[in-house]
Structure 1
Amino acid sequence: MFDTVLVANRGEIAVRVIRTLRELGVRSVAVYSDADADARHVREADTAVRIGPPPAAESYLSVPALLDAARRTGAQAVHPGYGFLAENAGFARACAEAGLVFIGPSAEAISLMGDKIRAKETVKAAGVPVVPGAADPELAEAARELGAPVLLKPSAGGGGKGMRLVRDLAVLDEEIAAARREARASFGDDTLLVERWIDGPRHIEIQVLADTHGNVIHLGERECSLQRRHQKIIEEAPSVLLTPELRAAMGAAAVEAARSCGYVGAGTVEFIVPGGDPASYCFMEMNTRLQVEHPVTELVTGIDLVEWQLRVAAGEPLPFAQEDVRLDGWAIEARICAEDPSRGFLPSGGTVLALHEPQGNGARTDSGLSEGTEVGSLYDPMLSKVIVHAPDRPTALRRLRAALADTVTLGVPTNAGFLRRLLAHPDVASGDLDTGLVEREAEGLVPKDVPAEVYAAAAAVRLAELAPAPRDGWTDPFSVPNGWRLGGTPNPPAFPVRVPGLEPVTVEAPPGARVADASVTVVVDGVTHTFHRAGAWLGRDGDSWHVLDHDPVEAALGGAGRGGADTLAAPMPGTVTVVKVSVGDEVEAGQSLLVVEAMKMEHVISAPHAGTVTELDVTPGTAVAMDQVLAVVTPHETSGEEA
């Protein structure tokens, strides 16, 4: 076993790898950009090295910086985690040339499986069925030959990043350009692949494990069909769809796929499976790294995949054969992401003011968070993962809903409440899944309004803040803000408050409210409601609300001359990557004007109506805050007759 291992990643996966290194008695080296100087993975490692400024291209994607950090700390091996350089053959090769063990497959295997067309040809020759597709440079021609709908995918990476479903080939060129930008930002490589899209599919993957002694086994499947924007959000093991016979067949196909490229270490073979005919499964791709959802496999098999990545990389043979693998119970994982469901799931950010992450009693949270963590727009939006294990699927679903309700991340909007409601959906409960289910049902799983008790709790907090502190055990009754009036009806104070993006309301604190340092309890319509609180944030059952004081005068002055339908504002904190217009340009309604990128996701800003660009406040590379004004499009004047 190694003495020192450098973890070439950040966030929850770095923390998770460091945990296993500590259990094995191996010294861990963390790396960090300036944005992560006080991050949890930095504090939990045995030592840490700064590798550059915040942009990933200058830090986490910098091979020279990572190799230099390994040299300076005496690391013998590098664990790449997932994302960033985990599937970069050049990085694996550079590690080997520097005398470092890359904890993963060989550069040749990464290169082969990273070229999705070569990968398909290779596994097809091994008898594995594949999905039709093609890659650069014949991308556009192949897409038109396949016919809509088609799926664009980065050839160099995975995780759903940069994937685009194109149902109208008239916008193919624009979609290809956008997919290339996202692929370049996520993986440093803008090579694309196109595949025929199969409507209503299920996404099932097989975990494989191979050593350097010729042993290759599989550890069962994971159901990953619950996705939004091609990004997995709920994963489970095993799948309700697979019979023991089909599990064995798909497992054998995955093993053959791994053998076909000389695979070593932990990897995942992904299949697209028609729900109505699961025996017609097709190979999509092989992820030559640890998967985000690996914990569900660990919980049902009892095998620590990171430990066996390390042991295999150190030359140890697998001590168990295929017949030794047993699946025990059911495990389900939910990905907690910095995104705001109430704003169309746009990336969010902020400072973590209060944090509670469930652990124990069948629940496990893999996280990179701590109180005080600054969540910015530079990196992936996934913050943590909540995973549960239970004897059966219904119990696992209940436990995960309870764990999500117990998850508190105040200061940064997340999708935890949305995931809790998703898990209660009848189709999810019955296991009737497909990759389009979340997109179809998402709108109904996002509350349209802020519950009245949220505003009541906010008012109770503000009332408590006005209360005088007792002196020598006595409180002046005339200083208590209870609205008492001599000879008149009490007139308790009312507070104008607002939730960003919604109209302000004026609300009174209900009688009998209890306000503590980290909680507030109110009774509304005879029902008691308890919230976590931190600053202006309230949270309950995985949901959170940022309830601010509303000053009508300040709001009117702040919006004077710049508000209204003419103003284009940033929908999320991020960076402007593309500016397609200049001041004075004439634009049409719906015309694409700018692109804002945050957390490896692009958002196109379009003209709200035909008109003239009269103000443009940003250039490519400008960092913007949420709701910051980007541009103003003044509509064309119309004559009275035209009106």
Structure 2
Amino acid sequence: MTPSPIPSPTSSPDPAGTADWPFDTVLVANRGEIACRVIRSIRALGLRSVAVYSDADAGARHVLEADVAVRIGAAAPSESYLSIPAVVDACRRTGAGAVHPGYGFLSENAAFADALQEAGIVFIGPSVHSLDVMGDKIRSKNHVARSGVPVVPGIAEPGLTDEDLVRAASGVGFPLLIKPSAGGGGKGMHVVDRAEDLRGVLTTARRVAARAFGDDTLFLERLITRPRHIEVQVLADAHGTVIHLGERECSLQRRHQKVIEEAPSPLLDPATRRRIGEAACNAARSVDYTGAGTVEFLVSDAAPDEFFFMEMNTRLQVEHPVTELVTGVDLVQWQIRVAAGERLPLTQDDVVLTGHAVEARVYAENPEAGFLPSTGTILALAEPAGDGIRVDSSLLPGGTVSSSYDPMLAKVIAWGTDRAQALDRLDAALAGTVVLGVDTNLEYLRLLIGDDDVRAGRLDTTLIERKLPALAFRHVTAQDLALAAVLLVEASTAGPAGPGTRSGSAWSRGDGFRLGPARPRTVPLEYDGGTATVSLLRDGAGWTATVDDTTIAVTLSGTVEPGVPGVPGATLDGLRSQAPYAVDGDTVWLGDAGWSTRIRRPGRRELVDAARSRILREEGAADPLVRSPMPGTVVSVAVVDGATVEAGDVLVAVEAMKMEHQLTAGLSGVVRLSLKPGDLVKAQQIVATIEAATTSNPDTTSSTTEGNAA
């Protein structure tokens, strides 16, 4: 097969028909962008697609794109996407003869594959045996080692207690890595630098692993400093053919979660590529693997010819598009074809890597606030297109980003004839992406791929932590505040006259009309943790805005309609601005080449409460209120009501969007709380109050807190 330089994600590598297949309907047991992507390939094969959805996803894009959609339960994953009986029942109700699991959820669940087999439904994935062996990191590590695949030094045995791990730690050496035997995606992995910290971290790691995977088994590995994370894509049929489709560099990670991936790796030479590819194929052969899978390795940056097996992901990977773009192989179609019994038409020599591809994951999160996940409604959306650009997305204007699921929104992928062109195209594509209504990491992604070390291919899994403090994020300017104030005022006066008033009457106008000389109107604003007051004065067809000591002339072309996103076509001090915006009630969202922010006008009650708070509290004093930064579920409470705590002590842990956030005391004193594990909390809900030792009547009106991601 000759790969296409820019293959379509729905192009079929084999035109053979599907009439003789054991199924004609495929159910996608997933949601979001991966469900949409799988549905495209199902449609390209001429098969019927079935989507499943929870109550939170009733209007989601994957539901609209499938031929048939079935509700399977409530928003909580355990009651919908993780419910094996619900998915199997959906197959029976729709006549689905096969299930594609996507990634995450039930994709590597051996019990799910077994239940499908018992129901006579084809699982588009490997055998139960492969899932059993490779789904347990301890078992898989020991298994592949017997097949000659190099592994990271450490201790990996079933049933190790905390005491066992503490005793073995000195032999492994510090720093070391605690890893859960089940699961993946970096969930539950913790770095421990000192022996005295090990016991406490083991407690946290077990709790996270048990909650995420239903299995708290842990093991230890030596931490390889300055490592590079390189994975190999394998593809195998049920007739003995096992090949690899090259490697992907996945070293740009934050907290063990991949952020940017590329293919091929800029580190490996052809000889190492052959060796690591053959090791991946040997790992797959050792469990008679079928379908698409990924074997992950750690490679030392100082010794790129050495590599160590980490794990095998027995499913499609988030970053699979970069492999598709450099090989011309539609991996999803071949997953389906292999599950239908087809033979791979490729040999290893047929696999050719053409050009370079880079993928960036777009998340609903705020990098400057500790990557706090964001929820909300998509008010404005524009996704990039052009030469070498591919977008895998689940976004829709008006769609909701829920706290129930992972915060990944989309993937933007760029292909180029070489690495430099791919990075340039990706940067331009990210700059042209607009997602307003939730915080995103778009600007952060652009800063990363513009870094000198990233451009030069000098990568490792600790690069982001080292670089993050120095990244030059754009902040709100006086011009942004002036534009936001004008947009809010224009939106508030854009509606029709109220009931019982005459159109055009001065009494029904909300533009500040008054007899006598014009008087500026003041617009208080909150942004990025700061506040400002903008003074606005009508000036012909425009406005004169004053922010602190800066005066800015603002003119809008056209009418601003509340709730309708658009481009204001504003002129700021004579310079034309085409920045996207969206007005939602008392909040304005502004965008600028990947950067975005929300600027809010607080209500009168909030302003009074804030002023009262400043009067009652000493300047610079810490906030006595601890609020949840977003909606979620309480997973642990570290203190009891009435306990004495110190500033910085962890009080409550809240889980939201697959992340655990530890909420801490802002000052020392007596804590007051009434929460318990399992309780649901809303965004900005007060979860605890600290009564300072020197304050008998603590202020209860302030509105910020610290929330540190675990």
**TM-score scaled to structure 1, two decimals?**
0.93
Match of 1:67 among 51, 70, 88: 88
572-581 or 237-246, larger mean C-alpha shift: 572-581
- C-alpha contact (below 8 Å) 1:464/1:515 kept by paired residues: no
Number of the residue aligned with 1:51: 72
Identify the residue that residue 319 of structure 1 maps to in structure 2.
345
> SS of the residue aligned with 1:503?
strand
Q: Write out per-residue CA displacement over residues 489-509 of structure 1, whole angstroms, 9 at most, x where no aligned residue.
A: x76544221125323343544
In 2, the alpha carbon distance for the partners of 1:374 and 1:96 equals 35
2:635 aligns with 577
Which residue in 1 is equivalent to 2:688?
A: 631
Maintained 8 Å contact 2:569/2:577: yes
Which residue of 132, 137, 150 corresponds with 2:176?
150
Percent of residue pairs bearing the same amino acid type: 53
Q: What is the CA deviation profile of residues 288-315 of structure 1, one whole-angstrom value per residue up to 9, with x for unaligned ones?
A: 1100000000000000000000000111
Tell me the alpha carbon deviations over residues 424-453 of structure 1, each in whole angstroms, 9 at most, x when there is no partner. Answer: 111111111110111111122252732333
Asked whether the 8 Å contact 2:482–2:534 carries over to 1, the reply is: no
Matched letter for residue 609 of structure 2 = L
> Structure 1 21/560 Cα, relative in aligned 2: closer, same or farther at 3 Å?
farther
> Which residue is equivalent to 2:567?
519
Comparing 116-125 with 423-432, greater Cα deviation is found at 116-125
**Distance in 1 between residues matched to 2:84 and 2:649, nearest whole Å:** 39
Q: Which residue of 2 aligns with 1:502?
A: 530
Of 228, 233, 252 in structure 1, the residue corresponding to residue 278 of structure 2 is 252
- Pair 1:386-2:447 in alignment: no
Alpha-carbon separation, structure 1, partners of 2:533 and 2:209: 43
Distance 1:148 1:196 in 2: 7
What is the aligned partner in structure 1 of residue 705 from structure 2? none
CA distance in 1, matches of 2:655, 2:695: 35
Q: Is the 8 A contact 2:554 2:573 kept in 1?
A: no
Matched, 1:546 2:598: yes
**In 2, distance between residues paired with 1:217 and 1:223?**
19
Q: Distance in 2 between matches of 1:187 and 1:167?
A: 25
Whether the 8 Å contact between 1:135 and 1:194 is mirrored in structure 2 is no
Residue aligning to 1:197:
223
Q: Identify if the C-alpha distance between structure 1 residues 496 and 312 changes in structure 2 by more than 3 Å, giving closer, same or farther.
A: same
- Matched ranges for 1:558-597 at <5 A: 564-597=622-655
1:30-41, aligned counterparts within 5 Å?
Answer: 30-41=51-62
The 3-state SS of whatever aligns with 1:511 is strand
- 1:242 is aligned, of 268, 282, 296, to 268
1:76 maps to 2:97: yes
Note closer, same or farther for the CA distance 1:239–1:638 as it changes in structure 2 (3 Å cut): same
The 3-state SS of whatever aligns with 2:580 is: strand
Contact kept? 2:555, 2:572, Cα under 8 Å: no
Q: Could you list the per-position Cα deviations for residues 132-162 of structure 1 after superposition, in whole angstroms to 9, with x for gaps in the alignment? A: 2325522533352323222222322212222
**1:161 corresponds to which of 137, 162, 187:** 187
1:372 is paired with a residue of what secondary structure?
coil
Is the 1:84–1:186 contact (alpha carbons within 8 Å) kept by the matching residues of 2? no
Q: Which amino acid aligns with 2:119?
A: A
Match of 2:42 in 1: 21
1:166 positional shift? 2.1
CA distance in 1, matches of 2:63, 2:579: 32
Give the match's secondary structure for 1:520: coil
Which segment is superposed worse, 216-225 or 474-483?
474-483
Cα distance between partner residues in 2 of 1:264 and 1:30? 24
SS at match of 1:221: strand
1:242-641 alignment, distance < 5 Å: 242-445=268-471, 447=473, 449-465=475-491, 492-499=520-527, 501-506=529-534, 508=536, 509=545, 510-516=552-558, 518-524=566-572, 527-535=575-583, 536-551=588-603, 553-557=605-609, 564-613=622-671, 615-637=672-694
SS in 2 for 1:278: coil
Look up the equivalent residue of 1:504 and give its one-letter code: A
From 123, 126, 137, the equivalent of 1:102 is 123
Helix, strand or coil for the counterpart of 1:25? coil
Q: 1:470, 1:62 → 2: CA distance? A: 49
3-state SS in 1 of match to 2:534? strand
Partners of 1:88 and 1:156 within 8 A in 2: no
Q: Secondary structure at the match of 1:409?
A: strand
CA drift of 1:108 comes to 0.6
Q: Report the equivalent of 1:233.
A: 259
Moved more, 492-501 or 25-34: 492-501
Partner SS state of residue 504, structure 1: strand
Give me the whole-angstrom Cα distance separating, in 2, the residues matched to 1:326 and 1:254.
17
| Cα distance change, pair 469–366 in 1 and its aligned pair in 2 (3 A) | closer
Q: Give the gaps of 5 or more residues in structure 2.
A: 1-20, 498-502, 537-544, 546-551, 561-565, 697-710
Q: Distance in 2 between matches of 1:163 and 1:566?
A: 32
- The 2-side partners of 1:507 and 1:427 are apart by 44
The 2-side partners of 1:469 and 1:568 are apart by 39
